[in-house]
Chain A
Amino acid sequence: MRDFYGVTLANPLMLGTAQYPSPAVLEAAFRQSGAAVATVSLRREGGQGQAFWEIIKGLGVHILPNTAGCHSAREAITTAQMARELFETDWIKLEVIGHADTLQPDPFGLLEATETLAADGFQVFPYTTEDQVLGARLLDAGARVLMPWGAPIGSGLGLNNRYGLRTLRAAFPEVPMVIDAGLGRPSHAADALEMGFDAVLLNSAVAQAGDPVAMARAFALAVQAGALARDADPMAPRDMAQPSTPVIGKAWL
């Protein structure tokens, strides 16, 4: 299994901490999901930050701070620096958002921020698209992980461009990759793992479910199934039927 900056995850699942109905549901969902990583953010201190920090520490998982909401490299770099001090980790889920409706990455700002942060010792997890050329540039800039989107953040559409994602996966066989954003159902997560991605990162699919705790468990099983299937080398699909029952020995009736 490919590792993330030297860290091997117990389960190929990274889970967001936002939008849960209550802190108790968040904690129960994390336990059921078996998630090995929790994503978090930084916001203006309004009195709740200290209690949230205690909850996050109590989860006992790796912490991956994000730069969500940043629309420029400069903003993302400053946010990353603040995150490193606050969460005591070099990991950063680097988001530089290019458009408010699609929340798609700004490839130019992302590349600039990746270059600066990697040079400054950060371990960058860039939230990117399935674009192979951008992937290559991000790796040149010092990223050792890629996080292509499945679909726009919060859309729940799944793997929007399977061809593009497959191509990206095949282009950089040594690079750990996480499908980040857009997953809605456990089948999407299983699909991503079967395709050879190393983990999935999701939030809304669990937090926005009618029963987040049950959905967390469903995702835990899905990523397990997907990873098992990938390692079991799935059969190649074919266009025509081929009988599975032996033809030889069939009775002459």
Chain B
Amino acid sequence: MRIEVNGAMREVSGPSLADALAELGWAEARVATALNGAFVPKGARAETPLTEGDRLEVLAPMQGG
């Protein structure tokens, strides 16, 4: 299925958010996720199904003031 990952369309097979993250190379990364604007805790990723057109944000620690 095609979903939007950090603003870019990507092809993932899913079916869960955890599966997609692993597919995208972020299985072990220190990241936080939001699906369609709502926070998805790490522990809930495996039970969070993805559907075509979902909007996924994958955020990491970054410089800030």
Contacts and interface: CB of A to CB of B under 8 A. Distances in A.
Interface stretch (A50-58, A106-114, A228-236): A50-58
Contacts of A20: 63
Q: How large is the interface on B (under 10, 10 to 19, 20 to 34, 35 or more residues)?
A: 20 to 34
Given A45-B29, A81-B39, A85-B42, A52 B62 contact: yes
Interface stretch (A35-43, A191-199, A216-224): A35-43
Interface stretch (A11-19, A133-141, A161-169, A170-178): A11-19
Interface stretch (B12-20, B30-38, B46-54): B30-38
B34 A50 contact: no
Contacts of A99: none
Contacts of B30: 49-50, 53, 86
Interface residues of A, number: 35
Contacts of B31: 45, 49, 86
Given A42-B32, A78-B39, A19 B63 contact: yes
Listed residue (A43, A53, A154, A204) with the most chain B CB atoms within 10 angstroms of its CB: A43
Interface of A: 16-20, 39-46, 48-50, 52-53, 56, 65-66, 68, 74, 78, 81-83, 85-87, 153-154, 202-204
Contact of B64 (A17, A78, A81, A154): A17
Listed residue (A48, A53, A83, A86) with the most chain B CB atoms within 10 angstroms of its CB: A86
A60 to B, nearest CB: 16
B37 to A, nearest CB: 6
Given A17-B63, A43-B60, A81-B41, 9 more contacts: A19-B65, A20-B63, A39-B64, A42-B32, A42-B59, A46-B60, A52-B62, A85-B41, A86-B60
